[in-house]
Structure 1
Amino acid sequence: MPASVQKYRDQLENRCLLVKNLKVFPVEAIVRGYITGSAWLEYKKKRSVCDIPLPDGLLECQSFEKPLYTPSTKAEIGSHDELIHPNKVVEMVGEKIANDIAETSASKYAHDKGIIIADTKFEFGADSDGNPFLVDEVLTPGI
């Protein structure tokens, strides 16, 4: 907390949040540990997810050898998000931010803690200095 409120720590601890005004990126980071949902539907038609080629013979709800990063657009209210290839994120937010989003979304941390990520999403934004932050949709089921 900022120094200006430190003297109120005993009253505020565990009762407040520090928030920042951030610009939300127009993408959602979906991480899939298993092939299910819309990923399964695309796989059955094209043997890919977000146009990422996958091997033949996968079964519904089968785990991936390595979690799959399958971003989507962040649609306006009333519209539907669309799955996109990870390269499209680079075009939308730049290479550094796209890499930060993909790396931060990876489920290695969860895996190391014994948490299984089947299919989830995260949203990120940046402060006025361009520093990325996790902003919303933490562990929300993916599309």
Structure 2
Amino acid sequence: MIGVRMKKKAFELFQTPNDLANALAGGALQDAALKAMRSITHLRKYKHWYVTLDYFESRLADVFYIGFQETMDSDFSKLKVLLDLPDSLQLPNDDVGAHRNPQNLDKSLTPKAVAALTDWYAEDYVFFSRCKKN
């Protein structure tokens, strides 16, 4: 329930992703932005999952498959083959089922917002780069 309350409060405080990212960079709402980034599941850093890059590297033999958002459709097709799943199985293609943002949501980011997010996710960029090597 805490996550739901935090998400609701974050959406009340930050009307757009740019508002949240700009607050993350500093200012009166920075503490609220930090709290939102840490508590909203889909905004959290991946480090909570892989612990450290060295630990992840030590467990590579346990990794079955690494897919990426930008290649989700083709990755899902490969995964179906690897798991011997029926070809008829499909990812959701409706906006709600696919968890897509509303079409009218302003997703533009100022340079300040991009810099704040790049800094916030710096360790994740290193992790993603390592994942892409496989």
Provide TM-score, normalisation by structure 2. Answer: 0.22
Structure with the larger helix share:
2
- Higher relative contact order, structure no. (Cα contacts within 8 Å, ≥ 6 residues apart): 2
Structure with the larger strand share:
1
